[in-house]
Amino acid sequence: MTFSKGYKIITSMSKYIFVTGGVCSSLGKGIAAASLGTLLECRGLRVRMMKADPYLNVDPGTMSPYQHGEVYVTADGAETDLDLGNYERFTTAPLSKANSMTTGQIYQAVIQKEREGKYLGRTVQVIPHITDEIKFRIFAIGESPDVDVTIIEIGGTVGDIESIPFLEAARQFRHDIGRENVLYVHLTLIPEVIGGELKTKPTQHSVKALRELGIQPDILLCRTPVQMEEGMSKKIALFTNVDDDAVISAYDIQTTIYEIPLAYHKQNLDSIAIKKLGIKAGKADLTQWEKVVNIFKTADKTVKIALVGKYIHLNDTYKSIVEALFHGAIANNVKVDIVKIDSEELEKAACENSSLDKLFEGIKGILVPGGFGQRGIDGMVCAAGYARENNIPYFGICLGMQIMVIEYARNILQYPEANSREFSPDTKYPVISLLEEQIDIKMFGGTMRLGNNESKLSPGSKIRKAYGKDLIVERHRHRFEFSNRFKDEFLNAGFIISGYTPDGSLVEAVEWKDHPWGIGVQFHPEFNSKPFSPHPLFVEFIRASKENEK
């Protein structure tokens, strides 16, 4: 296989699965792709995951959470689509910036090569130059000698103009490396109309649109409220030219998303994929997944956690944090009931104890997550103060840690104007601020700490006890830091600084003294949590909340 820029592939040793979506967005392609990756790994195959997003942004780092949900950060500091979080939670496949590509990245790379004369005077076009860049990036992941199957999820919906270059590249793959090496999986919707009748026509049209682009799906995953009857799946198979057994019912799961791989396995999704790709694989071992689902079904105690944020009206905004809370609950053999509280509501409550008592009634733990911007900040400060004064376990992540610092400065150090320079540039008490060398940097993201950074934990601290070691590595995504100018004042007032960067220059973790469990961290531990290896901070936070009888 030869690309227009001269990169040559002679043979392909890997298999490739392209996952597309139809009818409408947000059907769960990411979970479907991750679940398929899970099943293949459980059969002993080595899997890699990749996401292709059709938007022109270079990455989602500049996008509003209301537009795109959370920004997932990889170990090497790439800001990516939240589906990479699903990949990392469901599989053991390593992820980096190479596993995420956007239309913006592709066009940026091609235009840069054109400006440098790399195309030797040729007219630069979508085909072959854009599609070749897409294929090159996929091959760079899939042709590693330690990879058996690469799963590529193509964002958007079939029929969108933005997705066409990615779909065309996917079409070319089967032509380039052979029919036996490429599989097309299409996720579509079977809507339920008034009266409870399921309609297959949208799926038929979706497959028709895909076939018009040159792609005949090999497997259909049909999203339905309930499992399809055999007659309906046969009808869909007939009208879409898909094998009867390859029409899979992706019905709504009532327990947890971690039951989805089990539901697909019962319908032989992994066996069908392996057969069509001509792969030899072992028998699937899903014991761990069965244990996780069993805890969700049988745990007899529920812990109610308040998630106090500013983007709570979109479910995907705090996706990794929500999942990490579930992981912590699994480790404690309990269920978790997450109560989302808009921090602006707390501001309206004027931080009066009577109002807060009502809002936090029955709450056993309070978590304040990351975020940017002034809106809702004072409400978060109220939440932190309420947790500190009432001995409620509190977990502050990134901004949530900075909120702990601001609240302590205002109410214990008696600096009522204390704030972050992000929210109040002229505050007299900038307890959170940019580093001096960052102030004049204007490029967006130029002052961000992104990806893996080391932190050293203080002996005897709660966070040191949770991790069980002195040196940790966690992922960061923030710009502002604890201001060392006020460090001595905080320490003298009983505030505990329990984590620093290894050189001691930056604060990474703080705690409340004489409190059941009040910890704030500058990093994002939720990105390193999985159902079978829950993050220790979430495990301990849920444990402390479970023991809280207030």
> Left (φ > 0), alpha (ψ -120 to 50) or beta: where does 277 sit?
alpha
Q: Is 526 a catalytic residue?
A: yes
362's CB contacts (< 8 A; 6+ apart) are 304
Helix (H, G, I), strand (E, B) or coil at 472: strand
- Rounded to whole angstroms, the Cα distance separating 66 from 60 reads 12
Based on DSSP, count helices (H) and strands (E) in the chain, helices before strands. 19, 21
> Judging by beta carbons within 10 Å of its beta carbon (0-12, 13-18, 19+), is residue 178 exposed, middle or buried?
exposed
Interacting residues of 261 by C-beta distance below 8 A, sequence separation 6+: 35, 38, 39, 42, 90, 286, 289
First-to-last alpha carbon distance for the chain, in angstroms, is 66
476 is catalytic: no
347-364 burial: b if 16+ Cβ within 10 Å, else e = bebebeeeebeebbeebb
Q: What SS3 state is found at 102?
A: strand
Type of residue at 221 = L
Catalytic one of 41, 88, 323, 526 = 526
Which residues, in sequence order, are CB contacts of 377 under 8 Å at separation 6+?
343, 403, 406, 420, 423
Measure the CA–CA gap between 445 and 452, rounded to whole angstroms: 16
Query: Which tokens sit at 288?
Result: 């761990």
- 479 DSSP 8-state letter: S
Question: Between β-strands 15-21 and 149-154, what pairing exists: parallel, antiparallel or unpaired?
Answer: parallel
Three-state secondary structure string covering 312-357: CCCHHHHHHHHHHHHHHHHHCCCEEEEEEEEHHHHHHCCCCHHHHH
Q: Which residues contact 422 (CB under 8 A, 6 or more apart)?
A: 372, 373, 374, 432, 479, 480
- What is the biggest distance separating any 2 CA atoms in the chain, rounded to whole angstroms? 75
Amino acid symbol at 39: L
Q: Which of 259, 398, 474, 515 is catalytic?
A: 398
Q: How far apart are CA 18 and CA 141, in angstroms?
A: 14
Is 345 annotated as catalytic? no
Catalytic residues: 398, 524, 526
